[in-house]
Amino acid sequence: MMVASNDFGTTKVAFDKVNKFYGPFQALRDVTLSVTTGEVVVLIGASGSGKSTLIRCVNGLETFHSGSLVVEGFSMPTIKDLEFGGGEKALRQIRRGVGMVFQQFNLFPHKTVMENIALAPMRVRGKSREEAQATAMRLLERVGLRDHAQKYPGMLSGGQQQRVAIARSLAMEPHVMLFDEPTSALDPELVGEVLDVMRELRTEGMTMMIVTHEMAFAREVADRVIYMDKGAIVEEGPPAQIFDKPISDRTRTFLSRVLKH
Amino acid sequence: MIIATLHSWARRNLFANLIDSILSILIVTALGWLLTVFLRWVIWDAYWQRIYESLRLFLVGQFPEDQTWRAWVALALLCTAVGAVLLPWSRRLGVAIWLIACGAAVFVLVPPGLDRWGGLLLSIMLTVVVSTASLPLGILFAFGRSSRNPSLRACCTGYIEVMRSVPLILVVYWIWITVPLFMPEVSISSLARGMIGYTVFNAAYVAEYVRSGLQAVPRGQREAARSLGMSNWTISTEIVLPQALRVVQPALVGNVLDVFNGATLVFIIGLMDFLRAGQLILVDPAASGQTNEVYLFMFAVYFVIGSAITFGSRRMEAHMHRSTR
Ligand SMILES: Nc1ncnc2c1ncn2[C@@H]1O[C@H](COP(=O)(O)OP(=O)(O)O)[C@@H](O)[C@H]1O
Ligand SMILES: [Mg+2]
């Protein structure tokens, strides 16, 4: 329902030799990666390996120092572009087509669930209040939270909040969805309801980049799994290959550590 | 039952051991004695007639007698304004009513001339105008100081730091003197100049409170808003500022109280506020015997208004929390 036709060929996101530094620390090393329409890419790796940095580049929450990143045909401005005052427009253009879901939900606590979802369509896409609220209601129904529209986020459980956050992103009708550890802040019994919504998105053909520690889920939904270490992509491939016959020793060590638990 | 509870409470808290018991008895005795003396003075010895006769001067200063109705209308308008922001309804509507009602109050009081305002009327109107004007200014400076633009940031930081490091009287006096120098052709009343000076001073404090609120908004809020494609303007006005103001609301109300208490300092430019009115009453030899009455009265008025502001703040906080729990 939400996936628009793809006007930019089959490549939605294309990293080419992207490098990123925090001061002297290199957070991304020569990252080259492309994601095609409808593909679900799952990023795994130890904490601090640069997964968040990588997916946050896709909607410009992080800038990078060298290389290129093209999202839906728009070239992501580099740090230099932004320094000289350019690029802000391209950035907002890109963000209209890319939704993001955060580990900490980041719902707006002073706005109701309905307002959280309807605000951006009204302010960014210029929709009327009625239209935005109707869409919001449809999305709430879809994530199973119809009755919570008038509540404030603080009155909901973590799982419900995260589903609202997903609905809020979807309201902007994105072509690509980014998920940065969407279930890591949730109690175990609430993880399932969020994963269900993501599964549904997948069956609808949404292009997704997901950072997660839910390995079973990764194996189930991923078209491609990417293992990262120290800012670099170490290994990528279909889940069966990465999880069952990893080529790299580092991947094997990592998996043996996380799969034990 | 109640007596038993009281008894056990007293046992636990007042007479837990020997030293506690002695202290409790001493303090309770001393307080009781002071209170008796005080009440006896208030009821029998004090000469309240003087306060009663000077009430007009206390409340409105030299405001023309035949125009007193204006003060009453203004009072009603101000009560409406306060009610509007205290009621737990739409905040936007509350602010709108506040602005309209306060503006109307000023409008009603202006015709007799700003120079005729005095006493409590002056103190309250000064507080209302300065606090109301400081808020938007303070918000602008707070955003300026947090801006990415270095020259804007430097200007705002400089302004805030200078204002915060000099005394109020200095700023008020300085603006009072310099405004006519720059604009010799228009005459601006002392009170208006005083309000400008006080606002210029107070906005710097408001800016610092607001800035601390801006910093208290988690980074994820801005990131979520940005990832939805919102413009910086929308992010600031719809996402960051409302949350920041909630955080610092108690501090901002405390600032209103500071403005009210600091308003007495405008006597430096020849205005007669509430405290100054009391002093003038005492200058009259006929009243010189009533120093205690006059000061007790002023104490009581300041205390009542201060408590009312604090109480209002608590209420606002309470229904703010109810809505975002
Ligand atoms: N704002 C920052 N300043 C400095 N270092 C950072 C910053 N953000 C992340 N890093 C560092 O970059 C590395 C990658 O971080 P991140 O992408 O968050 O890893 P992951 O999401 O895989 O846990 C980490 O070592 C982290 O310490
Ligand atoms: Mg991370």
C-beta of A229 in contact with ligand 1 (< 6 A): no
**pLDDT above 90: residue A212:** yes
Phi and psi angles of residue A208, each rounded to the nearest 5 degrees, phi first: -135, 145
Nearest to B247 by CA among A245, A12, A110, A213: A110
Q: Does A209 touch chain B (CB under 8 A)?
A: no
Residue B292: the pLDDT is 84
Mean model confidence pLDDT for chain B? 88
Per cent of chain B over pLDDT 90 is 44
pLDDT band for position A9 (50/70/90)?
low
Residue A35: the pLDDT is 96
Q: Rounded to whole angstroms, how far apart are CA atoms A45 and A28?
A: 13
**CA of A244 vs chain B CAs: smallest distance (Å):** 35
Residue B323: the pLDDT is 58
3-state secondary structure of B94: helix
Residue B21: the pLDDT is 82
Order the strands of the A207-211 sheet from edge to edge.
A98-101, A176-180, A207-211, A40-45, A224-229, A232-237
pLDDT per position as a tens digit, A179-188? 999 999 999 9
Nearest to B257 by CA among B183, B201, B312, B212: B312
Of the two residues B86 and A95, the one the predictor is more confident about is A95
pLDDT per position as a tens digit, A134-183? 999 999 999 999 999 999 999 999 999 999 999 999 999 999 999 999 99
Closest residue by Cα to atom 16, ligand 1, is A50
pLDDT per position as a tens digit, B245-264? 988 988 998 999 999 999 88
Which residues 6+ apart lie within 8 Å of B288 measured at CB?
B282
The β-bridge relationship of strands A207-211 and A40-45 is parallel
The half-sphere exposure of A187 on its side-chain side, counting CA atoms within 13 A, is: 7
pLDDT per position as a tens digit, B49-65? 878 888 888 888 888 88
Q: Does B150 touch chain A (CB under 8 A)?
A: no
**pLDDT above 70: residue A237:** yes
Instruction: Tell me the CA distances in angstroms from A244 to A216, A219, A258, B171, one per residue in order.
Output: 12, 10, 14, 75
Of the two residues A251 and B118, the one the predictor is more confident about is A251
- All residues of chain A having their beta carbon less than 8 Å from the beta carbon of residue B220 are 102, 104, 106
**pLDDT above 50: residue A4:** no
C-beta of A212 in contact with ligand 1 (< 6 A): no
**pLDDT above 80: residue B325:** no
pLDDT band for position B157 (50/70/90)?
very high
CATH H-level, domain B116-324: superfamily: MetI-like (1.10.3720.10)
**CA of A106 vs chain B CAs: smallest distance (Å):** 6
Residue B123: the pLDDT is 92
| Range of lowest pLDDT (A2-16, A111-125, B226-240) | A2-16
**pLDDT above 60: residue A7:** no
C-beta of A60 in contact with ligand 1 (< 6 A): no
Residue A5: the pLDDT is 45
pLDDT band for position B271 (50/70/90)?
confident
Residue A6: the pLDDT is 43
Per cent of chain B over pLDDT 70 is 98
Of the two residues B47 and B156, the one the predictor is more confident about is B156
C-beta of A22 in contact with ligand 1 (< 6 A): yes
Mean model confidence pLDDT for chain A? 91
Give the chain A residue whose CA is nearest to the CA of B323: A152
Q: Rounded to whole angstroms, how far apart are CA atoms B307 and B319?
A: 19
Residue B148: the pLDDT is 86
Residue A127: the pLDDT is 94
User: Considering the entire predicted model, what is its pTM?
Assistant: 0.86
Residue B215: the pLDDT is 95
Of the two residues B158 and B5, the one the predictor is more confident about is B158
pLDDT band for position A3 (50/70/90)?
very low
Residue B324: the pLDDT is 54
Residue B181: the pLDDT is 86
Compute the average pLDDT of residues A12-28.
94
Amino acid at B160: I
Instruction: Note whether ipTM > 0.85 here.
Output: yes
Q: Rounded to whole angstroms, how far apart are CA atoms A111 and B246?
A: 13
Domain definitions of chain B by residue range = 2-45, 64-111, 116-324
